[in-house]
Amino acid sequence: MIELQLFIRGDRQEAARLREVLEREGFVLDGGSLGDRTSDIRISASNNGSTAAEKEEVARQVEELEIAVRELRNLDVAKSQFLANVSHELRTPLTAIVTYGEVLRDGLLGDLNDRQREAVQSVIGSSRQLLTMIEEILTYARTGARAIELEPSHFPIHSVIEAAHDMSASLIRKKSLQFEIDVDGELPIAAADRDKVLHVLTNLVGNAIEFTPSNGLIRVSARRCEDDPAWLCVSVEDSGIGIDPEYHEMIFREFAQVDSSRARQHHGTGLGLAIARNFIQLHGGQIGVTSELGGGSTFYFTLPSVEANGDSESD
Amino acid sequence: MTAVDGATILLVEDNETIRHAVSILLEESGYRVTQAASGTEALEKAADQPPDVILMDLGLPDMSGLDVTRRIKADPVTRRSRVIAITGRAMETDEAACLDAGCSGYVAKPVDTRQLLRMIEVELGKKG
């Protein structure tokens, strides 16, 4: 008998595809489930129907696969480590630029006229923008190197939605956007890493603001997931330019951006959604989008929860 | 006369350029600044002439800024200095660890210079 145990990193679609292949090959599956690590999906498979020679061949192939997977993982860690080192090195001189800029701007080295101050302010603004992008690459590299651990706690989801709104309040005002929060009062409490969830929500709200024209609408809602009431389903809906369904999967991949002249006016590392996906998958959740070109977008993600029964479990 | 005038600050930062930029900021704002590029140098200079405020970069080459802070807080000669931690970024070190080590405050790089100057004034006010 051939027995296999496969661990797939947090991607249910990937797991489903693999199970299909194994079943086609005559393996009996014992129902894939979440492994010890919430980010892994475990599949156990056995196959009784092969001859001795076939079994040997499969065993050899499995061994080769295992070696290949190990090598790929090592490469992936090396890549992430490299990214982390580079972004760390980039931050230091940029930090100096920002500090010198602010010293000049505030007239500590002598008064500036309006045009000089404006120029220095641009140096500071652009440098900070660059730093934000570098921070994003660093965060991405850390998740890739599995250097990020979840620190779960229990918290009401509306508190994080409000925090994400507050962080973007000035941008929302600037574009005169209507911002609605629609949270069911009877919701269970989120059981997740609050900082990571805030990071994801801030990113989704940031995208919504960026791709929604002035006077548009952004609505953040939370409710129980329809297919599993133990999970929270959080969505960020906007009345913006929308995304062609062709790109719905691609935008969650790293360094990918929708390649249209419209989107090219927007800047960024193309890592925001990849990081969001990593963070949500670390929780065992799912993230996705429904959208039509010109018809606004709704990004949603799911989070584990616990019932709000007044237990003193939360922290 | 504000709290600023003549107050002393020990700036602990291993990167020379950032140290230079921040020292200009502090000196031009009226502080007397001494500098240290490592944890060892920081401990020596703090013991030599205990400053009012120490700006402590947490990523030092020879020891962790939090360890330096613990030693400063454990030494009766230097314990009255207020320590403000400066770290690479918010997610790297949590604020609780900073406060636990004896820091009074915590700012992430790149420091907003106005915010930093306000924090220093607050710490000087507390020191009395």
A194-250 confidence digits (pLDDT tens): 989 998 999 999 999 988 999 999 999 999 998 888 899 999 999 998 988 888 888
Q: Do A98 and B25 touch (CB under 8 A)?
A: no
CB distance from B96 to chain A under 8 Å? no
B28 touches chain A (CB under 8 A): yes
Q: Mean per-residue pLDDT for A46-51?
A: 68
For chains A and B, count residue pairs whose Cβ atoms are closer than 8 Å.
51
Report CB contact under 8 Å: B89, A98: no
Q: Do B110 and A131 touch (CB under 8 A)?
A: yes
pLDDT of residue B76: 94
Distance between CA atoms of residues A153 and A194, nearest Å: 7
Q: What percent of chain A has pLDDT over 90?
A: 36
Higher pLDDT, A65 or B46: B46
Q: How many CB atoms sit inside 10 A of residue B107's CB?
A: 16
Q: Mind listing the pLDDT tens digit for each residue in A136-174?
A: 888 877 776 666 778 889 999 999 999 999 888 888 999
Is B110's CB within 8 Å of A139's CB?
no
ipTM above 0.90, yes or no: no
Q: Tell me if the pTM is above 0.80.
A: no
Alpha carbons A239 and A36: distance in angstroms, whole number: 40
Give A273-292 pLDDT, tens digit per residue. 988 998 999 899 999 999 98
Please, which residues have CB within 8 angstroms of residue A152's CB and are 6 or more apart in sequence?
A191, A192, A193
The whole-number average pLDDT for the span A25-48 is: 61
Chain A closest-CA separation from residue B28 CA (Å): 6
Rounded Cα gap, residues A244 and A294, in angstroms: 9
pLDDT at B47: 95
Minimal Cβ distance to B113: which of A96, A102, A128 = A102
d(CA B100, CA A215): 46
What band does A31 get if pLDDT is binned at 50, 70 and 90? Answer: low
Chain B positions in Cβ-Cβ contact with residue A94 (cut-off 8 Å): 110
Contact A308, A189 (CB under 8 A): yes
- Give dist(CA A224, CA A234) in Å, integer: 9
Q: Which of A92, A128, A131 sits opposite B18 (nearest CB)?
A: A92
As a whole number, mean pLDDT of residues B22-37 equals 95
Closest chain B residue by Cα to residue A102: B113
